Structure 1
Amino acid sequence: MGSETKTIHLTQTQLAQICTSTLWQQLMLTRMPCTDYSHFCQTADEVFAQLSETDWLEAFAGHPMIGDLATLQKKYSQGKHLSEQEQGQVTQASEGVLKDLLYYNQAYLEKFGFIFIICASKQSAEQILHQLQVRIRNNRNQELLNAATEQQKISHLRMEYYQ
């Protein structure tokens, strides 16, 4: 018996739950349907390679600040359930770690002009805080690249829902 493949054809609303870059969504729509999950991921990566800094910043703006779970309820309802799953271990952090996350997240935002983006799945709040403390030392260009890489990881996790 051969394994069945599932054709993937998403709407813009569904794509927006994966990545909030409007250009990414529009380009993905023009390349639908994807023949299977592997093709879906490959297509997404090809489209990600076409994004400008402005597009990446739009994608980053679709995420709540790590540790700021109240933001999930107020602003990011379209991807709320996904972000809650991705940040699941952060909710178990001590108050001190959460305060440090908030402090360094604010400092990161002030320094770079966008929030700290990390694929938080399966990472503890302490691990995320460590990465934040390391990455805040980088220059803006390096952090834009780091955040874009993390955005792609997050998107791939969200894309698994549609396979």
Structure 2
Amino acid sequence: MSLDNLNNTTLEQAKHSFMQCCTSSQWVNAMAIARPFSSIESMLKHADAVWDKLNESDYLEAFEGHPQIGNVNTLRAKYANTKALASGEQSAVQEASDQVLHALAKGNTDYLNKFGFIFIVCATGKTASQMLALLEARLPNNRATELANAAEEQRKIFQLRLEKLV
């Protein structure tokens, strides 16, 4: 889709497109209403500005748009079932050893139990071992710090997806 097509599509179609980038309904609505964008850069800048004004419940809604990693089988399957815009973001996990996959699955469960939301990381270009190291480094954080970390990772993800969108 081109930026021109996104700018000229219906409101509902635009919402559907933006929902593929981030599942916060407040963010999606604000992005769809803000059209037309004069450039990709202005769209990306606006996306960040909207994100910065959202609250915790909006962030949690966005996090819920990511599949939860509950066990090794779902970890392996997670990346095969992502949408086209998410393709390639976490492909390094497919090449991970069973030991790393088990540690990631356990770490994700520990993270969810501690913080009440799933571990979010912009995985583009990262190996499973690197993601595991990031997860282990973030587990000792308090909830407020981790909410901010996760929100920043979500921002990186939607920025990449917006660029793929147009």
Q: Per the shorter chain, which TM-score range?
A: 0.7 to 0.9
1:35 and 1:26 map into 2 onto residues whose CA distance is 18
Cα distance, 1:88–1:71 mapped onto 2, change above 3 Å: closer
1:69 and 1:61 map into 2 onto residues whose CA distance is 19
Deviation at 1:72, TM superposition (A): 5.8
1:162 and 1:86 map into 2 onto residues whose CA distance is 14
1:71 and 1:162 map into 2 onto residues whose CA distance is 21
1:81 and 1:31 map into 2 onto residues whose CA distance is 24
Deviation at 1:30, TM superposition (A): 1.5
Query: Aligned residues, how many?
Result: 155
2:40 and 2:15 map into 1 onto residues whose CA distance is 17
Provide the residue aligned with 1:53 in structure 2.
56
Any conservation in 1 of the 2:24–2:61 contact (CA below 8 Å)? yes
TM-score (norm 1): 0.88
1:159 and 1:6 map into 2 onto residues whose CA distance is 10
Provide the residue aligned with 2:98 in structure 1.
95
2:123 and 2:23 map into 1 onto residues whose CA distance is 18
| Match 2:77 to one of 59, 64, 70 | 70
| Match 2:23 to one of 3, 6, 20 | 20
TM-score (norm 2): 0.86
1:111 and 1:97 map into 2 onto residues whose CA distance is 21
Any conservation in 2 of the 1:64–1:72 contact (CA below 8 Å)? no
| Match 2:126 to one of 101, 123, 126 | 123
Q: Which has the higher contact order (CA 8 A, sep 6+)?
A: 2
Which letter does structure 2 place at the counterpart of 1:50?
K
Unaligned runs of 5+ in 2: none
Deviation at 1:85, TM superposition (A): 1.5
Any conservation in 2 of the 1:34–1:40 contact (CA below 8 Å)? yes
Unaligned runs of 5+ in 1: none
Moved more, 61-70 or 106-115: 61-70
Any conservation in 1 of the 2:85–2:165 contact (CA below 8 Å)? no
Could you list the per-position Cα deviations for residues 12-71 of structure 1 after superposition, in whole angstroms to 9, with x for gaps in the alignment? 010000000001001111111111110010100110011110000000011123672435
Provide the residue aligned with 1:105 in structure 2.
108
Superposition RMSD in Å = 1.9
